Chain A
């Protein structure tokens, strides 16, 4: 018979490996998290305690208003005077909220955080200005006698400060938000709780997805570990076949496009909107020009016929993004802005961008789109292409050249360049 677990029935710590306890809090009523996430059944703030022969460590705390539950569970398994080490793997308030009070109750404890966390610590805990701490990175460890905490530097998952902590002797990885999800279940363990696959993937898609490269770097450190259990800061403790979740993270972070078109080809996507077909004609000419360059795969999309979510997926994997919009009342059209304001979940850093469009008299749209793309950290190597009303054959030729030029930059063909004078730059 399956042992039943119900952590909502008591306020005690739960031992899930020898000397390793869950001392977290349940938040079953939460429905929105960090503005950008929803959750159908709340979340948990998982805090952990490790007891070694030479002292006790607390790994992460909880959101401030859940402090009572956290301290009650903690007190059930350790005395404050025994706490020698506090580790914060991530300083977001949902995990650092109870830190000031914990430090007051265990003033002898020493805090371990990542280098990147130091400036955040100060900005979060204004009152406790002279908090003592030690910064740690991969290769560093702290001994609790017969238990050792080893640190893994895993930045940007999903803040600059994030790290993981591994208890070597028990094979337990305290992974922070990595491998976590907003899913509150009093049965605590992945093999006992309900079907949380959706919540797990949803959490990845909204929190980790913009940082796929960093996920891959972190996996290089995590995969070689002997993993018996993964203990994230939200959602179930992954005690049953934890490696499945590591493999799943790798799959989620691997480019699907590279698998289907091959690593060498570069992908360019041209999005456009057009009322009388002028910007559409430009888009086609640009596409034709770009397609003439070997190694560039061009896709052309009319924004009128699409939905945002699949376009976001396409954008994530593209190497160059072109947006075409007519100027309507001094602005680019709304579908362009809708798409350009839906990209917070993907990493655009360093992708090439370009804008184009037909206009009647003032033609602001192209410059505004370029500014937005710069704001999104894209590179704009070629100045946008504007055509007054109906493009002439000559202007369509210019559009072809424009497409070709961007495609050449994309495949790394050097352009003819002399020294530019700063004064000539727009």
Chain B
């Protein structure tokens, strides 16, 4: 299976994951600082800032775009419970 690396800047930890893994699955197990509420893309609690590899996460859905907008997300912010890792990237809590 294709692999990708995700780095959590706040804890300076890189994890090698199967492509398609959601960020939430990794960050929770590794204890990175991203936090979660609803876990289903509704509340915006899990907003993260993508530092590198913006295009290596799956595209945000229309619903995610809406929640990002409501939560006044910056240009490179995503929901960690929604974004799937498809290539190397680096993130930190928003």
Contact = CB atoms under 8 A, between A and B. Distances in A.
Interface in A383-426: 414-415, 417, 419-422, 425-426
B70 A379 contact: no
Interface string B19-35: 00100001011111101
A422 B15 contact: yes
Contact of B33 (A350, A414, A420): A350
B58 interface: no
B14 A349 contact: no
Contacts of A115: 69-70, 72
Interface of A: 115-116, 118-119, 349-350, 374, 377, 379-382, 414-415, 417, 419-422, 425-426
Interface in B32-47: 32-33, 35-36
Interface stretch (B5-13, B48-56, B75-83): B5-13
The 4 closest A-B pairs by CB, nearest first: A425-B29, A422-B17, A377-B35, A381-B31
A350 B29 CA distance: 15
A410 to B, nearest CB: 12
B61 interface: no
A422 B70 contact: no
A97 to B, nearest CB: 23
A397 B9 CA distance: 31
Given A377-B35, A422-B18, A119 B30 contact: no
A116 B70 contact: yes
Nearest to A349: B35
B61 to A, nearest CB: 16
Contact of B32 (A379, A417, A422, A426): A379
A115 B56 CA distance: 29
Contacts of B12: 414-415, 417
6 contacts: A115-B69, A417-B13, A417-B14, A419-B16, A420-B16, A422-B21
Which of B14, B17, B28, B35 has its CB near the most chain A CB atoms (within 10 A)? Answer: B35
A415 B11 CA distance: 9
Contacts of B33: 350, 379
A115 B71 CA distance: 8
Contacts of B28: 374
Interface residues of B, number: 24
A425 B70 contact: no
Given A119-B70, A381-B11, A420 B36 contact: no
Given A415-B12, A419-B14, 8 more contacts: A115-B70, A379-B31, A379-B32, A380-B31, A417-B12, A420-B30, A422-B15, A422-B16
A422 B29 CA distance: 9
A419 B90 CA distance: 13
A381 B29 CA distance: 9
A306 B32 CA distance: 32
Contacts of A419: 5, 14-16
B78 to A, nearest CB: 18
A379 B28 CA distance: 8
A419 B93 CA distance: 20
A349 B94 CA distance: 13
A244 B11 CA distance: 42
A382 B31 CA distance: 8
A422 B27 CA distance: 10
Which of A382, A414, A422 has its CB near the most chain B CB atoms (within 10 A)? A422
B70 to A, nearest CB: 6
A353 to B, nearest CB: 9
Nearest to A421: B16
A405 B12 CA distance: 15
B4 to A, nearest CB: 10
B26 A422 contact: yes
A119 B43 CA distance: 10
A349 B33 CA distance: 9
A138 to B, nearest CB: 12
A381 B11 CA distance: 9
Nearest to A417: B13
A118 B14 CA distance: 38
A119 B16 CA distance: 37
